[in-house]
Amino acid sequence: MMQNLPDNYRAIVFGASGAIGGAFVRALRHDPRCAMVYAGARIPPAAIDAKIRPFAFDLGDEPSIERAVAGIAQDGSVHLVLVATGALHDAHMQPEKTWRTLNTEALTHAYAVNAIGPTLIAKHTLSLLSSEERTIFAALSARVGSTEDNSLGGWHSYRASKAALNMLMRCFAIELARRAPKAVCASLHPGTVDSALSKPFQRGVKTLFSPNDAAANLLNTLDALLPGDSGGLFAFNGARIPF
């Protein structure tokens, strides 16, 4: 599956209890070249076998991220970090149809979940990536976070928070290249996936991916990226999406 990572590579999945995050864990578990998968969630998944090592973290609590990564760091460097967290709608926010419904709580929550949380994960994991071998840091973003691709408007908080994530990932890529020239740092658009996040918005969707198919598509996309692609936003089919 991840043919271009080193043999016996080690991976971390943040958001392993979500639809895509869980599918990432399953896919990596079945990749014979993957030696270990650290699967993180607020309530960690069960350790199916010795290859899966669950850990707890809270996206809104930086010390919990720091503690989790410190535990993983005791085993040495890693080669793949996947941030499969994010929110489009919940008790704190719903996608806005007009600027008239914007409010501080929803905006703050969107940035906290979709931009700040992944940023804090990057803060504590990028230094774990091997500086000599090919490595990947990737976070789930969205096509609607592209400023250039936005022709419909709406969904202000979600769009803006994902756009912020894309810019942060670009910044990380530039800095990471100085210490790890073989590394790739990328934002990912998974398409519309059959999950709780997309459930209210699936009507009229032409292609609805299962979580397992989405994870496979994204891993294949990541495996094909080169260091020169680092900092970009890429769709499930490998196509680059403009910022």
231 versus 46: the higher-pLDDT residue is: 231
pLDDT of residue 204: 66
Contact 140, 83 (CB under 8 A): yes
Looking only at the bridges linking them, the beta strands covering 233-235 and 240-241 are antiparallel
pLDDT of residue 150: 86
Classify residue 2: in a domain, yes or no: no
Domain CATH for 22: 3.40.50.720
What is d(CA 87, CA 76) in angstroms, rounded to the nearest whole number?
31
pLDDT tier, 92 (very low <50, low <70, confident <90, very high otherwise): confident
Classify residue 194: in a domain, yes or no: yes
Classify residue 91: in a domain, yes or no: yes
Q: Which helix (H) or strand (E) holds 184?
A: strand 183-189
pLDDT tier, 48 (very low <50, low <70, confident <90, very high otherwise): confident
Classify residue 125: in a domain, yes or no: yes
Q: How far, CA to CA in Å, does 36 sit from each of 29, 102, 133?
A: 8, 43, 17
Classify residue 208: in a domain, yes or no: yes
How many distinct structural domains can be found in the chain? 1
> Quick one: which of 159, 132, 127, 130 has its CA closest to 146?
159
**pTM, to two decimals:** 0.95
Classify residue 4: in a domain, yes or no: no
Cα dihedral value 210, 213, 214, 219, nearest 10? 160
pLDDT tier, 229 (very low <50, low <70, confident <90, very high otherwise): very high
pLDDT tier, 72 (very low <50, low <70, confident <90, very high otherwise): very high
Provide the 10 A C-beta neighbour count for residue 63.
10
Classify residue 122: in a domain, yes or no: yes
Provide the 10 A C-beta neighbour count for residue 76.
10
pLDDT of residue 64: 98
**What is the crossing angle of helices 104-111 and 156-179, to 10°?**
30
- The whole domain housing 106 covers 9-241
What is d(CA 165, CA 227) in angstroms, rounded to the nearest whole number?
19
Classify residue 3: in a domain, yes or no: no
